[in-house]
Amino acid sequence: MFDIQKVREDFPILSRTVYGKPLVYLDNAATTQKPRAVVESIANEYYSVNANVHRGVHFLSQQATEHYEAARETVRKFINARTTNEIVFTRGTTESINLLASSFVESQMKPGEEVIVSNMEHHSNIVPWQVEAAKCGIAIKVIPINDKGELLLDEYEKLFSPKTKLVSIVHVSNVLGTINPVKKMIQIAHAHGVPVLVDGAQSIPHMKVDVQDLDADFLAFSGHKVYGPTGIGVLYGKEDWLDRLPPYQSGGEMIQSVSFEKTVFNELPFKFEAGTPDYVGSVSLARALDYVSALGMDNIFAHEKELTNYAMKRLKEIEGMRIYGESEQKSGVVSFLVGQIHHLDMGTLLDQLGIAVRTGHHCAQPLMIRYGIEGTVRASFGLYNTLAEVDALVDGIKRVMKMF
Ligand code: C6P
């Protein structure tokens, strides 16, 4: 598929040590490491272009603007949006969902109307709706899950009523790794005349996501989880929806004209990009998307699937192992607890062995409540992880178990 050792050389950080041990980085769902091409693009942009975009007539400003808009085109192509008007740059998934929650609820919903989310949402796809609920009197309905960590689609269908105005659903769970059947869920929502926001934070880095094929109305994702920089993300929205929604923030760039009597907002997508954007972040996000595209999203998915299947098999050999998330459709996230060992102890001791995992509730406390636990240990894979690193994790867990 691709030469994993060669790929690893593109990520200088992977050859460092921690506590004198080779780094085994298994916290890719939190953030991914950056290839040389991405880091160099940040330096190059600042060293040789750097100017404010969409503002100056001078050469640098025009070049920066060209690079910014070329980055938007790269994102458009990556998710197969129809036009760059549908691509809004934000700070990340969280800001994308906040933007939509604010603009959609305040313009499209009345008190008592409902948004459907699921029991496996990240806090970023719960709290913005709760904030809007407190302001605007909307209600939140929750799709339940089974013990394997799969959404109950029959229950989902039953949640719809004439009061349902939006479905906001995670594509891939950051805790369970479940790949939700979003295409089918969108069809169901559309049959009720309801648009759908897909939280793509954990799908965009790991599989091909085609917004036209899914027929998603909105999609949110973060640059830093797809080998790009922190502080940049995307909100995709169908043009006719974005046209109808009011701006989220206001100020420079999102206007066409301003007087004290009347302000006319800018056209798409600038209406949603108030203030000086992180244009360098956008450009280096585009380099990250070029990088994964060159490897091939299907190849990345297949490689991570192999790692996940192997990890599930090897982890299950450990006595007292409890795995959370056993869906058939599962991406490279494995959450677990072993015996009575606290997740924080396990994570801290694995760290001493050079193995970086995440512990805790993973910003999904309602899901923890569903399973009656406080937190888990989570290993999450990226395109550069190897089967040997899975072995290192398993050996590490066994060493920690011996200490208890
Ligand atoms: N999950 C994790 O370790 P931001 O922070 O805006 O880039 O992404 C938020 C977010 C939204 N949805 C899902 C499904 C996510 O997984 C995340 C981020 C990280 O699982 C950090 S909490």
Which tens digit of pLDDT belongs to each residue from 164-188?
999 999 999 999 999 999 999 999 9
223 vs 31: CA distance, rounded Å: 9
112 vs 361: CA distance, rounded Å: 31
Phi, psi of 244 (to 5 degrees): -80, -20
% of the chain beyond a pLDDT of 90: 99
3-state secondary structure of 204: coil
Does ligand 1 lie within 6 Å of residue 121's CB atom?
A: no
pLDDT tens, 380-392? 999 999 999 999 9
Phi, psi of 22 (to 5 degrees): -60, 135
Q: Which mutation among 127, 174, 179, 224 tests ligand 1's pocket best, with the greatest number of atoms within 8 A of CB? A: 174
CATH architecture, range 39-294 = 3-Layer(aba) Sandwich (3.40)
Does ligand 1 lie within 6 Å of residue 124's CB atom?
A: yes
Q: In this predicted structure, what is the pLDDT of residue 134? A: 98
Domains 4-30+296-403 and 39-294 belong to one CATH topology: no
Q: In this predicted structure, what is the pLDDT of residue 55? A: 87
Nearest partner of 87 among 68, 60, 101, judged by Cα: 68
92 vs 230: CA distance, rounded Å: 8
Q: In this predicted structure, what is the pLDDT of residue 194? A: 98
User: Considering the domain 4-30+296-403 in this protein, what is its CATH number?
Assistant: 3.90.1150.10
Please state the pTM of the whole predicted model.
Answer: 0.98
For the chain, what's the residue count?
404
384 vs 1: CA distance, rounded Å: 12
Q: Largest Cα–Cα distance in the chain?
A: 73
Q: How open is the CA angle 203-205-206, to the nearest 5 degrees?
A: 65
Ligand 1, residue 30: give the atom nearest the CA. 3
pLDDT averaged over every residue in the chain: 98
Residues 6+ apart with CB under 8 A from 154: none
Residue 132's alpha-carbon distances to 101, 141, 242, 366, in angstroms, are: 7, 14, 19, 18
116 vs 142: CA distance, rounded Å: 6
pLDDT greater than 90 at residue 1: no
Does ligand 1 lie within 6 Å of residue 174's CB atom?
A: yes
Does ligand 1 lie within 6 Å of residue 29's CB atom?
A: yes
Does ligand 1 lie within 6 Å of residue 30's CB atom?
A: yes
Q: In this predicted structure, what is the pLDDT of residue 56? A: 85
Ligand 1, residue 96: give the atom nearest the CA. 6
Cα(122) to centroid(ligand 1), Å: 7
For the chain, the domains span 4-30+296-403, 39-294
Residues 6+ apart with CB under 8 A from 366: 119, 121, 126, 142
